[in-house]
Homo-oligomer: A and B are copies of this chain.
Amino acid sequence: MTHALLPSGFHDRLPPVADAAARLEARVLEAAHAHGYERVDPPLAEFEAALAHRLKATRAQDAVRFVDPVSQRTLAIRPDITAQVGRIAATRMGHHPRPVRLSYAGSVLRLRAGQLSPERERRQAGCELIGLDTVAAAREIVTVAVEALEAAGVTGISVDFTLPDLLGVLSAGPFPLGEASLDDLADRLDAKDAGGVAAIAPAYLPLIEAAGPFDAAHDRLCAFDAGGALTSRLDGLWKVADAVRGRVVLTLDPTERHGFEYQTWLGFSLFADGARGEIGRGGSYTIVHEDGSEEAAIGFSLYTDAIVAGGGEDARRRLFVPLGTDPALAARLRGEGWVTVAALDAGDTPEAQLCTHVLIDDGVRPL
């Protein structure tokens, strides 16, 4: 082969990874279903204009676009599913009493890879709670995210909280800043650059230290919040973290904003032992309706490929069934949970078929 089989950023999921990914998503959605989240499955392509209108974290120009020969309008392949779930909640399920609990799983496609990931196609699975972004709503969403990961066998889960509108609240209240300075300050805080922060607005310096293990960071943030501008957020955040305390590692990075630009009061990233980088994220946000009105929502997305890459493989157990075996016997063994691999000609061998067991004289023997 002198050329790549697939374009960069696209890949085949082969056995046993593809099975593991499907199983993971099934368990995640089953755990969410037990909390009342029902699945929606929006289409791969939509009118570009309708999708762009709702896309926030992903730029519409990152989507694969094409002209629809039927409507003569531009369609886009979805670069994100959350925006589609928002569309469904705002339109087809607009009449449904709030809150609406929805779940989803599927592939998203981007024309160009992101800065942090070379992948252009990724699988996402998640939940959206539409109509509320209260502390009670956030407690439920964080609990469902953690339970979904636990149900999928993920261990060593960490939840890293952030307060996406923290700088906005502080600069609109006790520590005024111009718009330009706010962006600069956010950059310097992201970089943990104390000198830079001091040069822009020394009052914000304590925020650099208010990151790390949750309880200590929360304490420092409470001490910093002498003016009380953050009190309701800090109280709420504590209650949200309490919902999963003891089940996960809790951390706080109050000024982390990468990818949280469009979240409202709460954001969180999910990590797990063995997985490199984030395995998911979530937070509160706003849905815009057709008439311009806004609605609060909160949700999370899990990154199937990142989770599967960090997980162990289940051992394969495959039973080779020689030529001439009674089909009823093989059916009975499948009923007992065996994977049966039938010989289809005399040359088939258990080794070629990656079998771990073989049927000899109607008895199961390990190879």
Q: Which residues of A contact B (CB under 8 A)?
A: 1, 5-16, 18-19, 21-22, 26, 29, 33-36, 38-47, 50, 64-66, 68-71, 73, 75, 77, 84, 87-88, 91-93, 97-99, 101-102, 104-107, 109, 111-113, 120-121, 132, 134, 136-137, 140, 143, 243, 290, 318, 327, 334, 338-342, 344-345, 348-349, 352-353
Contact = CB atoms under 8 A, between A and B. Distances in A.
A277 B127 CA distance: 34
Given A8-B70, A140-B342, A344-B134, A22 B39 contact: yes
Contact of A45 (B99, B121, B338): B121
A133 to B, nearest CB: 10
A246 B5 CA distance: 45
A345 B132 contact: yes
A15 B38 contact: yes
B40 A18 contact: yes
Nearest to A33: B339
- For the complex formed by this chain, how many copies does it contain in all? 2
A132 B29 CA distance: 37
A345 B65 CA distance: 42
Contacts of A290: 1
Given A92-B5, A105-B22, A334-B35, A40 B66 contact: no
A344 B71 contact: no
B66 A39 contact: no
Contacts of A12: 40-43, 84, 88, 92
A43 B10 contact: yes
Contacts of A109: 44-45
Contacts of A42: 12-13
Given A66-B65, A70-B8, A91-B1, A19 B39 contact: yes
A236 B204 CA distance: 80
Given A22-B39, A91-B1, A339 B34 contact: yes
Nearest to A131: B344
A16 B101 CA distance: 12
A50 B9 contact: no
7 contacts: A5-B50, A7-B45, A8-B71, A12-B88, A33-B339, A44-B109, A69-B112
Contact of A66 (B15, B43, B64): B64
Most chain B CB within a 10 A radius of its CB, from A73, A109, A132, A143: A109
B33 A344 contact: no
A19 B41 CA distance: 9
A16 B88 CA distance: 14
A71 B327 CA distance: 50
B40 A70 contact: no
Contacts of A348: 99
